[in-house]
Amino acid sequence: MSVYSKLLRLMVTVWDYLPYILEGVWWTLGLVAGGLALGFIIGLPLSIAQVYGHRILKAIVEVYAWFFRSVPLLVLLFLFYWGIFPALGYKLDPLTCSILVLGFRSGGYQSQIFRGAIQSIGEGQYIAARTLGMSKLQGIYHIILPQALRIAFPGWVNEYAIILKDSAICFVLGVMEILTRTRYVVMATLEPLLPYFIAGGLFIILTYGGTKLVNIVYEKTKIPGLIGRI
């Protein structure tokens, strides 16, 4: 059999499997969206607690962020899937568990992104809010956060790209995302080259497309004088 006909057959085979791999994009996006959203819900209050909270609260946040940023994602996935959740009496499906772990971990990273942004805002903004008669929470909500979130935006977009790429590790739990499906195709066809290229290409498209998309949102909400550029 000539090289060309072999290549042709390979492409036809992979073409047959392509829809199967593409379906993984939705799973990957689910992992990313879930992880980012949960990370935001965890990270933002943590950052506020770390800047404005009581000493003990600050210490707890620090330990949290330190733990989730120090332990490898792979270890976290195994720890929670096989260890912590079963020990607590939960038998979670791989997708839910992966989203939770990605979210917990991203919460640690996002808390530090937002903390940096909040601390970069001069103390004068908060004091001005308080002198107007705003309560602590009103000042944080109306004055500090709108600025901090804009300043944090570039870091946050970076977090999207990181969590997107990290989500591939969830294949170890059998989540039906891009890599898991690609591996199945490789096993079935015994052809690793093209499928893995496709998987890589999909991640490039998602990284680039997602960053572009949020960039558009960012430009639309930009305010003169408030820094934060991607």
Contact positions vs another protein (CB under 8 A):
122, 124-125, 127-135, 138, 142-143, 146-147, 150, 223-226
For another protein, give the closer residue by CB, 130 or 165. Answer: 130
Asked if 114 and 44 count as a contact pair (C-beta separation under 8 A), the reply is: yes
For another protein, give the closer residue by CB, 130 or 183. Answer: 130
The answer for residues whose C-beta is within 8 angstroms of residue 211's C-beta and 6 or more apart is 157, 160, 161, 230
For the bound state, the minimum distance from the C-beta of residue 119 to another protein, rounded and expressed in Å, comes to: 15
For another protein, give the closer residue by CB, 25 or 134. Answer: 134
For the bound state, the minimum distance from the C-beta of residue 59 to another protein, rounded and expressed in Å, comes to: 23
For the bound state, the minimum distance from the C-beta of residue 116 to another protein, rounded and expressed in Å, comes to: 17
For the chain, the straight-line distance linking the first and the last C-alpha, in angstroms and rounded, comes to 51
For another protein, give the closer residue by CB, 28 or 147. Answer: 147
CA atoms of 173 and 135, how far apart (whole Å)? 46
Residue 215 host element (H or E): helix 193-220
Asked if 39 and 105 count as a contact pair (C-beta separation under 8 A), the reply is: yes
The runs of H, that is alpha helices, within 53-84 are 55-70, 73-78
For another protein, give the closer residue by CB, 134 or 161. Answer: 134
For the bound state, the minimum distance from the C-beta of residue 129 to another protein, rounded and expressed in Å, comes to: 8
Q: How many CB atoms lie within 10 A of CB 205?
A: 11
CA atoms of 117 and 226, how far apart (whole Å)? 11
For another protein, give the closer residue by CB, 20 or 52. Answer: 52
For the bound state, the minimum distance from the C-beta of residue 137 to another protein, rounded and expressed in Å, comes to: 11
Which of 66, 49, 31 lies closest to 176 in space, CA to CA?
Answer: 31
